[in-house]
Amino acid sequence: MTGTHTHSHRPIKHQKHAWSEKSASIVPLTSQLALRDAMAKEGISLADYNDLLWIMAQESAGIVDARNGASTARGLFQLLHAQYDLNPHGEASFGNAVEECQGGIRYIYGRYHTARRARNFWQSHHWY
């Protein structure tokens, strides 16, 4: 047919990247302190700190308002757009480390009930 072209759509081949655990030590002190503050505000035991910090390290390396260019994931715990309302001030909380942590904590305990379960799921699936 003249003037019409067809495009053959080939599936995109995704490379599998070897995942390697990020040490919680990469998280800046300011983000570590924000997590502790958020835990206190949310009534979470400090016994869960290491698991929450580990998840934060994997998700954002402790970078406040981290953004994922491939999705709507955003913040220290990479909440998706549908979860932004878990932050104390919704989308306006991004940029505030304590509030980003509060949103992450609310997501983790709402979905997994414990930080340890969330971490175990993350370690098995490399997402949570």
- Mean pLDDT split into 10-residue runs, the chain, 128 residues: 42 53 93 98 98 97 96 98 98 98 98 98 95
Single pTM value for the model: 0.84
| pLDDT value of position 19 | 67
* CB-CB neighbours of 59 under 10 Å: 22
Judged by phi (left if over 0) then psi (alpha if -120 to 50, else beta), residue 53 lies in alpha
Q: How far apart are CA 62 and CA 24, in angstroms?
A: 9
Domain ranges of the chain: 25-125
Helices (H) and strands (E) in the chain, counts: 4, 0
Cα–Cα nearest to 72, from 87, 60, 83: 83
**The two structure tokens encoding residue 4:** 């019409």
